[in-house]
C-alpha cells in the first residue's frame, strides 16, 4: 500500500505543469497556444522570455528529482523496495507526459527525465546533461540533443550500475522520450525543425 501511495504522489508531482504555471504567473500567453504547443521550457523560450523558460526548466527538472529523492529518503521507513523506487521514477516522468491537470496532454519530458536521473545518481545526471549540451551547442537543435541524450542515458546507467534496479525505468523513459519526439524526427530529416531560441 505504501508503494502505491508513493507512486500516485510521484505521478501527481509530475503532473504539475510548470510551463503553464510560470507563464500564467508572469502574465504570458499559455505555451500551448503558440509554437509547437508543447508545455515545456523549449517552447516557452519561443515566447522571447528567457526567465520564464529557465524557471520552467528548473521546475520541471526539480519535480523529477524531488519525487525520486523523497522516495529514496523514506523507502526504508515505509518498506518501499527497489521495484517501488523504479516505479516512482517512471511515475513522475509519466505525470509530466500525461498530466491529470492538463487532461493528460503534457510535455515531452526532457527536463523531468534529467531531474530523475540526477536523483538516481548525480554522475548519471551530469553525463546525460553534458551529452545534451554538447549536441545542443554544436547543432542548435533541442530535439536532436534530447534524442541523443535519451539514447545514451540507459547506456550510461548500465555502464555505471549494471542492470540495476532503475534500469527498466531508465530504458522505458528513453523509449518514451524518443516516441514523444517522433514529429521532431520527421522535421529534422526534412530540415524544418526550429533551432533553439528561434520563434515560430
Provide DSSP, 55-106.
HHHHHHHHHHHHHHHHHHHHHHHHT--HHHHHHHHHHHHHHHHS-GGGTT--
Residue 139, judged by CB atoms within 10 A of its CB (0-12, 13-18, 19+), counts as: middle
Q: Which pTM does this prediction carry?
A: 0.94
pLDDT level of residue 195 (50, 70, 90 thresholds) = confident
Which of 40-44, 97-101, 108-112 has the lowest average pLDDT?
40-44
Provide the pLDDT for residue 1: 82
pLDDT value at 129 more than 60: yes
Provide the pLDDT for residue 186: 95
pLDDT level of residue 99 (50, 70, 90 thresholds) = very high
Give the mean pLDDT of 177-193.
Answer: 95
pLDDT value at 197 more than 90: no
pLDDT digits (tens, 9 = 90+) for 72-84: 999 989 889 999 9
pLDDT value at 98 more than 80: yes
Gap between the Cα atoms of 39 and 19, Å rounded: 5
Percent of the chain with pLDDT over 70: 98
Does residue 158 or residue 42 have the better pLDDT?
A: 158
> Does residue 70 contact residue 90 with C-beta atoms inside 8 Å?
no
pLDDT value at 120 more than 80: yes
Amino acid at each position: 500500500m505504501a508503494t502505491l501511495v508513493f507512486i500516485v504522489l510521484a505521478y501527481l508531482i509530475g503532473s504539475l505543469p510548470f510551463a503553464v504555471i510560470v507563464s500564467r504567473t508572469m502574465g504570458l500567453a499559455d505555451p500551448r497556444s503558440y509554437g509547437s504547443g508543447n508545455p515545456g521550457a523549449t517552447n516557452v523560450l519561443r515566447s522571447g522570455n528567457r526567465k520564464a523558460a529557465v524557471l520552467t526548466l528548473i521546475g520541471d527538472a526539480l519535480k523529477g528529482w524531488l519525487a525520486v529523492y523523497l522516495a529514496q529518503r523514506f523507502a526504508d521507513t515505509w518498506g518501499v523496495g527497489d521495484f517501488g523506487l523504479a516505479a516512482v521514477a517512471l511515475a513522475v516522468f509519466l505525470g509530466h507526459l500525461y498530466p491529470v491537470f492538463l487532461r493528460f496532454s503534457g510535455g515531452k519530458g526532457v527536463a523531468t527525465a534529467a531531474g530523475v536521473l540526477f536523483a538516481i545518481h548525480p554522475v548519471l545526471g551530469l553525463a546525460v546533461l553534458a551529452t545534451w549540451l554538447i549536441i545542443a551547442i554544436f547543432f542548435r537543435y533541442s530535439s536532436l540533443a534530447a534524442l541523443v541524450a535519451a539514447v545514451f542515458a540507459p547506456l550510461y546507467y548500465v555502464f555505471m550500475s549494471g542492470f540495476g534496479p532503475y534500469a527498466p525505468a531508465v530504458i522505458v523513459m528513453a523509449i518514451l522520450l524518443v516516441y514523444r519526439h517522433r514529429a521532431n524526427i520527421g522535421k529534422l530529416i526534412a530540415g524544418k525543425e526550429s533551432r533553439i531560441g528561434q520563434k515560430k
